[in-house]
Structure 1
Amino acid sequence: MLSDTYSVEQPTRTEIDALAGPALLEFGTGWCGHCRATEAPLAAALAQHRELAHLRVEDGPGRALGRAFRVKLWPTLIFLNDGQEVARLVRPLDSAEIARAFALIAA
């Protein structure tokens, strides 16, 4: 089960770009209804990819990382490989859709 906690401390875009291997960057907030609706399908898909880095970052006005990735709606899931965006899902509700995005970055 995912925690409803999103990290207030944010990595910089440079740190994200320098990530090695596959990773999931998730933007949202703990109080967002859309974010909560995505938790179950995301948890189901993540269960198959426990080895991947998963960064849950709180987004909102004045949050530089969200702006750097042009995040407009929550949750936004950005699938990365070696710091490069491979896929993006906005407000996904289908674990199969999330699993397909994971397949693009998982080894």
Structure 2
Amino acid sequence: MTNFKTDYLKEEPLLGDVRESKGLTVIEFGAPWCPICQKAQPAIEEVLNKQAGLTHLKVFDGEGKPLGRAFKIKLWPTLVLLKDGEEIAREVRPMNADAVSKVFSSLAVH
């Protein structure tokens, strides 16, 4: 099963819709032109595709983008893990599969 999305969303989701989501959702904030984001893609893809029942939202973030500001995103890429719309973990600038996997370590306590 492929959870990983290769393309950024054309329109970012509304905060209210994200907060109403059910199950596990990973929001990946970044930009297609960002070299750090590009370098992280293989690790993110590897880990996300191993997670069952996961929704991946790949959000093109930037100045004035409301969803990124609501989550106080400062650096790209940032992965935010939500469970039923509530943030339970985040990982900033994960560069390898171990770093990406850290975002899921909190699932054992939730």
Q: TM-score, normalised by structure 2?
A: 0.87
Question: Aligned pair in 2 of structure 1 residues 13, 2: CA closer, same or farther (>3 Å)?
Answer: closer
On the 8 A contact 1:79/1:105 being kept in 2, the answer is no
Report the counterpart of residue 65 of structure 1 in structure 2: 67
TM-score by length of 1: 0.89
Question: Quick one: distance in 1 between partners of 2:8 and 2:97?
Answer: 20
Write the letter of the residue equivalent to 2:62: G
**Equivalent of residue 40 in structure 1, options 16, 39, 42:** 42
1:15-67 CA distances to partner (integer Å, 9 max, x unpaired)? 11111011100111111001011101111101211530000010011101000
Residue pairs, 1:57-96, within 5 angstroms:
57-96=59-98
Structure 1 residue ranges (4+ consecutive) displaced by more than 2 angstroms after TM superposition: 102-107
1:13 counterpart residue number: 15
- Runs of 5+ in structure 1 lacking a partner? none
Stretches of structure 2 that go unaligned for 5 or more consecutive residues are none
1:24 partner SS: strand
